[in-house]
Structure 1
Amino acid sequence: MMNNKSFFRLVRGEQVEAQYIEQQLEEYKRNPLIEGLPPILNKEEVFNKIINEPAYSNGERLLKENLRIHCILRLTDYVEPLTTHLDLERRISTMIRRGYVGRNPTSINHLKFINNLSDMKKKHDNSPIEEKLLVLEQRNSFASGFSLIGMSGIGKTTAINRILLTYPQVIYHTRYKDEEFYHYQIVWLKLDCPLDGSLKSFCKSFFKEVDNILGTRYFDKFGSNKTSLDTMVIHMVHIASLHTLGALFIDEIQHLSKAKGGPELMLNFFVTLVNTIGVPVVPIGTFKSFSILQTNFRQARRASGYGEIIWDRMKNDDEWNWFISNMWKYQWTKEESVLTDEIREVIYDETLGITDRAIKLYMLVQWRAISSGKEKITIQLIKKVSKEEMRMTKPMVDALRNNDIDKLHKFDDIFLPDIFQALSKVEHDIKLKGDIEKIRFQQKKISENSLMEVLEKIVLWLIDGGIEAQLAEKSAEKAINKLSYKEELSQLKKEAMALALNTNEKTTSLRTKIKNREAKYAKNDLRQMFMDAEKNKVLVYEILLNEGVIKDPMNEFFGEGLIC
């Protein structure tokens, strides 16, 4: 199923051979599933893992229009860490590790549990699936899940994906504590809830995804339409246990509203996964899924042990200002447009803090500015593009702006029910907010220090190459502004030297022109007389005397007939 390479890219995540890390917490020790995970990240490391800055060079402003249009598309991958990202990563980090406590595959209890599941698969009684799985609830499970709820376009899926990719998806164990230990560990699995909301369709998706990452054939064996739902569920539980699934993430959970007979069957199954085999479950959905999750899933103490993250749109505060200021740097119009307070306010008014909408509006505005030939971003252009290019979502934004409750109920994907109004007011944890502002300040200082370090290296290199100090500094600054200080140092040096030499050449040429230029003055102009004397290599005195500008002192005082 796997080759012997220690590392290679899978369809959705990474697959690695286990490298065990000694744990500091007692409950995490002597468990290969936990020791094989990456180190627990601090806030600064989380920030650097999540941030995704598009490639950018100020020199790209000089590219042709068609190329710059493509450059703007890089903004679709832009991710700026927010306080919610830190909260989300912390919960996932804790949830996965706590879920593995009590599921040690080297223990006798785990082997007994797997054997019980195998025996259950062989039984052909007609008892309900819930009764069959109840036998397994005696297991000591430490697993808990949580829910992630937010409006469309707020960044839920992107955030989950960025955090999950800080973990390998599969860890291959071969030896632990000097003993053979062959085991395929699936750290995380992320599936979309089926459009029809059926549990049978969900089981099929599970089999397919496991096959994709392990090269197995579970779908062929258990995913047939002829296979009963109970049989599928038993096999899914067995596979999740066999490969010690760390956490199961189900996106688009609002699709459960379309399930025949209601969402209870699927939700009960998720609760069973948590309670019986210890797999944490994280449903992810829009506000439409509130009414679904607040019944079965939220009432299950263990299933929702980590609570809920209510991800609402951004407020018009410091975090919004930081987000827009960083996004604004990625600008490909020929003329640089400065981000003013007025522009920042207009963007918020047109997007109301919905990050996906803000990024797309910024992209559309740049496209319009470039294609129209005006090459400048203005308040008028932002409003015009928003009105013309984002008409379909305008009613939703207007309802949000005016806090029109009746209209908001029509957009159940964005409406936040009254029962959770209190949660939305405190969604930004003060401590996390302070932490991320501190990290941002540190990141800014690091960037400034890096810039000065690069500038200094280029200047010294130019001076060593014979360039005058003042010119070296100016040329280095121009090169960095043109290419960005993150460009390869060799390229920056090359650009700076070219600029310096070009400046020297122009200066020399100008001096030569000035020197060679023949000024045209009147014949009796003193400046012309001085130039004539220099040209004919005679004394200026003689020229002045011959032109009658000065008198001969001998004749003046002694007369013309004086003979010495």
Structure 2
Amino acid sequence: MMEKIGKAKYEYEDIPVGNNQYEGIDFQNELFVDAKYVHALIPSDRGNRYIEALPPPRTEKEILRDYKKPILTYDFDRESKLPDSTRLYMVGQLRSLRLPLPFHKELEQSFRMALEESYRNRYMIADDKSKLKVTVADMQQGQCGKLVADTFSSANAGFSLLGCSGCGKSSSLRILLSQYPQVIMHHDDKYGRYPQIVYLVVNCVANSNFAALYASIGNAIDRALGITTSVYQKLIESRRSLGDKAEKVRELVETFAIGMIILDEIQLIDFQSTKENSFESLMTLTNRTKVAIAVVGTEDAYSKMFTHLRTARRLGNIISGNLYCDNRAYFGVLARQVFSYQWFDEPVALTSDMLDALYRNTHGIIDQLIGLCMYLNLDYISAKKRPNVDADYINKTARRHYRGIQKLMDQLDDSLNEKKRQQIVEEANKKLDNLLQEHKQAAFAEKITADEAADKELLPLKKNVIRNIQMVMDDYSAEKIAIVIDKVFETNKDIDEKTLTRVVVKYLTETDKPEPKKAPRKKKGKSLTPDMVKFILD
């Protein structure tokens, strides 16, 4: 018989308040983490295992640190002296640059508040004699309990992160979630082992409907639980009606204690063929389970998705991801940081005219700013005559690679203009990626050609050394000896045959053990006697 489980009693981690109980665990490379509990800051949350197993939220200082990812290996003095072919693909480092944006603090707070509220409005029911059959990490196991909604609590609210393409929504979401384990495993003496899925990220598919969305939720559950063959996606797809699919999702939310479902790229859903009651059913899921729902996408998609206030308000706080784009003072800070990474022959200072040109051509959108700065460097290095890097050069480069985009910048709230701008940016980014790939391969091809010439010159010497050593050491294959010779060549290619033979033999006898034979030899192999070693070394 199912019983309601009240406040839990467990051992707390003996660490200072605010410290991360999962310190040192890389959540991106760990499928599950065992629950570690810390005292909740709010007294009424004490004993709520689903809240007290969460790591602490980031502080303001940690947000500024974690959302800033500079290019640590960059050094202008070194890279400006590299050959053009090498510099061309070094420009690609800008793709990994991340900078803190004004909406990041609000995003962190909204996520945490919605997540805690989700677990605050639910309670666990369990029966140690009747077990649910669940699949975790490709293995079927029994589970005694599940997390259900407190019907008397208010409807849970999530959040919405809205903004134009390229303003940093998806990359910010990845950094946000890196603070949290996706699946926490709880252990109970009476009810055994059971998972808590903290969050699911569901990537909306282009031109999809809500049947596809529910199937994507199943797929996200499969991935979170380490299931390599689809189990829960197929389970949802097997239900015929949309209502049945929603009901199955409800069961899975309760079974796996899912805290939040994040719908990314919500604008890809086909709104014309999706009925309003589909969105209402999504909100009904929130009301029945108290799971938090968050949406990430463009502003026009949000208005189409939630035409009624009663539906839209369920998603709580609306975060504007591109509000910072209108802040010219902040753009100056942003542009100077991006422009500080440059691969010109001489360092170029960013003037006020250049700053204005960058803003006119990007409207402060971070992804577009990085893309334009990459083109400034690529075109400069590729030019037969080095151009003068100034405001005119910035405008010319923008017109070449982002043709027609300036006309669209002043009306970003127009969904049609935003779609046109997005197409221009996508085409420019695709061309940029192709250029970087081309330059990277061309530079590596030069290295292959150079190494091939060097190998051809050293080949006779390598053959002689292999023959010398195998005359007295037939326990080592030619391939093994060649590997050691190549290691020696890495530091010294100007070496004579006798010295090279001595160095390789010393390496083999002191650091390597002979390789086992694949098949027994009829003739007894020669062993390396002291006299033979003396002969080689002398």
Q: In which range does the TM-score fall when normalised by the shorter chain?
A: 0.5 to 0.7
Q: Distance in 2 between matches of 1:375 and 1:29?
A: 65
Unmatched segments (≥5 aa) in structure 2: 1-23, 134-147, 422-538
Q: Distance in 2 between matches of 1:249 and 1:96?
A: 11
Q: Distance in 1 between matches of 2:337 and 2:60?
A: 19
Cα distance change on mapping 1:151 and 1:241 into 2, 3 Å? same
Q: Distance in 2 between matches of 1:404 and 1:32?
A: 45
Which residue is equivalent to 1:66? 85
CA contact (8 A) 2:202 2:264 kept: yes
Under a length normalisation based on structure 1, what TM-score does the superposition of the two structures give?
Answer: 0.61
Q: Distance in 2 between matches of 1:299 and 1:199?
A: 19
SS in 2 for 1:72: helix
Which residue is equivalent to 1:292? 304
Q: Distance in 2 between matches of 1:237 and 1:225?
A: 15
Structure with higher Rg: it is 1
Identify the match of residue 119 of structure 2 among 93, 100, 123: 100
Q: Distance in 2 between matches of 1:14 and 1:344?
A: 45
Which residue is equivalent to 2:153? 140
Which residue is equivalent to 2:176? 163
Question: For residues 388-435 of structure 1, what are the alpha-carbon distances to aligned partners after superposition, in whole Å with 9 as ceiling and x for unaligned?
Answer: 1112xx24x31334x599xx46325599xxxxxxxxxxxxxxxxxxxx
SS in 2 for 1:208: helix
Question: Structure 1 vs Structure 2: percent identity of aligned residues?
Answer: 24
Letter in 1 for 2:57: I
Q: CA deviation at 1:9?
A: 5.7
Q: Distance in 2 between matches of 1:411 and 1:237?
A: 38
Q: Distance in 2 between matches of 1:136 and 1:92?
A: 19
CA contact (8 A) 1:337 1:376 kept: no
CA contact (8 A) 1:199 1:265 kept: no
Q: Counterparts in 2 of 1:366-377, with a 5 A limit?
A: 366-372=377-383, 374=386, 377=389
Under a length normalisation based on structure 2, what TM-score does the superposition of the two structures give?
Answer: 0.64
Which residue is equivalent to 1:83? 102
Q: CA deviation at 1:339?
A: 1.3
CA contact (8 A) 1:49 1:166 kept: no
1:240 maps to 2:257 = no
Letter in 1 for 2:331: W
Unmatched segments (≥5 aa) in structure 1: 1-5, 119-134, 416-564
| 179-188 vs 223-232, greater mean Cα deviation | 223-232
Question: For residues 286-335 of structure 1, what are the alpha-carbon distances to aligned partners after superposition, in whole Å with 9 as ceiling and x for unaligned?
Answer: 13214324424x42376123345363361252211111111122112221
Which residue is equivalent to 1:462? none
Question: For residues 337-390 of structure 1, what are the alpha-carbon distances to aligned partners after superposition, in whole Å with 9 as ceiling and x for unaligned?
Answer: 111112111101111112111110000111111111527633222111100111
1:280 maps to 2:297 = no
Which residue is equivalent to 1:195? 206
Which residue is equivalent to 1:57? 75
Cα distance change on mapping 1:351 and 1:179 into 2, 3 Å? same
Number of residue equivalences: 377
1:207 maps to 2:225 = no
Which residue is equivalent to 1:481? none
Letter in 1 for 2:304: I
Letter in 1 for 2:196: Q
Identify the match of residue 194 of structure 2 among 161, 183, 187: 183
Which residue is equivalent to 2:358? 347
Letter in 2 for 1:300: T
Q: Distance in 2 between matches of 1:60 and 1:139?
A: 63
Q: Counterparts in 2 of 1:287-326, with a 5 A limit?
A: 287-296=299-308, 298-300=309-311, 303-309=314-320, 311-312=322-323, 314-326=325-337
Q: Distance in 1 between matches of 2:26 and 2:255?
A: 23
Letter in 1 for 2:44: E
Letter in 2 for 1:322: V
Identify the match of residue 218 of structure 1 among 222, 231, 239: 231
Q: Distance in 1 between matches of 2:360 and 2:312?
A: 40
Q: Distance in 1 between matches of 2:165 and 2:150?
A: 36
CA contact (8 A) 2:375 2:397 kept: yes
Cα distance change on mapping 1:137 and 1:33 into 2, 3 Å? closer
Q: CA deviation at 1:139?
A: 5.2
Question: For residues 259-278 of structure 1, what are the alpha-carbon distances to aligned partners after superposition, in whole Å with 9 as ceiling and x for unaligned?
Answer: 52x34243113211221101
Q: CA deviation at 1:170?
A: 1.2
Identify the match of residue 51 of structure 2 among 34, 40, 43: 34
SS in 2 for 1:62: coil
Q: Distance in 2 between matches of 1:341 and 1:173?
A: 57
Letter in 2 for 1:71: M
CA contact (8 A) 1:186 1:244 kept: yes
Cα distance change on mapping 1:293 and 1:313 into 2, 3 Å? farther
Q: Distance in 2 between matches of 1:206 and 1:336?
A: 49
Q: Distance in 2 between matches of 1:31 and 1:136?
A: 14
Q: Distance in 2 between matches of 1:278 and 1:220?
A: 22
Letter in 1 for 2:245: M
Alignment root-mean-square deviation, CA: 3.1
Q: Distance in 2 between matches of 1:386 and 1:141?
A: 51
Q: CA deviation at 1:28?
A: 2.5
SS in 2 for 1:148: strand
Which residue is equivalent to 2:369? 358
Question: For residues 38-75 of structure 1, what are the alpha-carbon distances to aligned partners after superposition, in whole Å with 9 as ceiling and x for unaligned?
Answer: 11221111111211222312222222222222221121
Which residue is equivalent to 2:454? none
CA contact (8 A) 2:162 2:296 kept: yes
Letter in 1 for 2:199: W
Which residue is equivalent to 1:383? 395
1:400 maps to 2:409 = yes
Identify the match of residue 229 of structure 1 among 239, 242, 245: 242
SS in 1 for 2:181: coil
Q: Distance in 1 between matches of 2:243 and 2:412?
A: 46
SS in 2 for 1:240: helix
Q: CA deviation at 1:279?
A: 0.7
